[in-house]
Amino acid sequence: MKDVNQKNLNRENILSYLNIDKKIKVNVEIFNQIDSTNSYLLNKKQVINELNICIAEMQTKGKGRSGKVWESPKKKNIYLSIGTLLNREISELDGFSLLIALMICNALEDLYKIKAKIKWPNDLYLKNKKFGGILIETKIVNKKLSIVIGIGLNIFMKTNEFINQEWTSLHIEKPFLEIDRNILISKIISEISNNLNYFLEKGFKAFKKDFDKRNILKNKKVLVSNFSSSDCIALDVNEDGSLNLLVDNFKHKVTSGEVSLKIQK
């Protein structure tokens, strides 16, 4: 496998590649090492129309979904969190993680022609293996919603004995691709920022068609935490971001908070 010419994370480069509305203020902080970029931003004051960005070369307590650890080796990957304040209720954000996953896919396709897939509700897949995940955390501050979008993407990682599920990285799948993480990070921030207000106005339904093209689960046999039956097929997602399942020939609708789901081999 080719060795990659890795560029360091650089705040000025990230800011210079951004392509977003000038009214949005963007603050970028880069750390060599941090416990978790999400935890850092959750403790920071968020402001409407401002994006606080925290990126690290390494996390010592990287957080995954459902209390899992997100393995975060040094200088190998992207550990990115985006924080802002929204004048919304959490119930108005149905399908938000699907939007974020879609924006990451759009960034990868625009920059590198990579066609990534999404495993509902927030995993990113290449060739049937996970290479990225999203962890969205919120808290209410003065009746407003402080939100932190955490994104972990495996970029240059070639081996990691600690990951106990099938995984991949962009470098493993596309060894000849030259990836500058600064450009990719900027593109992801730009995509999210440029589509956020439209999402808040129209909801996930405005993005559903694009999501459907990336839905890796559609018509796949799955194992779902809440159902003991293994006769379970994932169907499509609804306009509110929930997922339809066919369990023992009966249709069920599940939301992201209530289930975890594995693709059957």
Residues that bind ligand BTN in the complex, under the rule CB under 6 A: 36-38, 59, 62-65, 68, 70, 79-81, 123, 133-135, 150-152
Shortest CB 46 distance to ligand BTN, Å? 15
**Under 8 Å CB-to-CB from 72, ≥6 apart: which residues?**
56, 58, 59, 60, 62, 79, 152
Determine the Cα–Cα distance for residues 93 and 95; give it in Å rounded to an integer.
6
- Report the residue number, 134 or 157, with the smaller CB distance to ligand BTN: 134
Residue-by-residue DSSP string for 66-116: GG-B----TTTEEEEEEEEEESS-GGGGTTHHHHHHHHHHHHHHHHH----
Helices (H) and strands (E) in the chain — how many of each?
A: 6, 12
Q: C-alpha 169: how far from its chain's center?
A: 14
- Report the residue number, 80 or 93, with the smaller CB distance to ligand BTN: 80
User: Which of 141, 136, 189, 150 minimizes the C-alpha distance to 45?
Assistant: 141
Shortest CB 7 distance to ligand BTN, Å? 19
Shortest CB 172 distance to ligand BTN, Å? 18
- Report the residue number, 59 or 215, with the smaller CB distance to ligand BTN: 59
Shortest CB 30 distance to ligand BTN, Å? 13
- Report the residue number, 64 or 73, with the smaller CB distance to ligand BTN: 64
Shortest CB 149 distance to ligand BTN, Å? 9
Q: Do residues 48 and 22 touch, judged by C-beta distance below 8 A?
A: no
In the bound complex, which residue of the shown chain has the CB atom lying closest to ligand BTN? 133
Determine the Cα–Cα distance for residues 89 and 58; give it in Å rounded to an integer.
32
- Report the residue number, 164 or 228, with the smaller CB distance to ligand BTN: 164
Shortest CB 70 distance to ligand BTN, Å? 4
- Report the residue number, 65 or 205, with the smaller CB distance to ligand BTN: 65
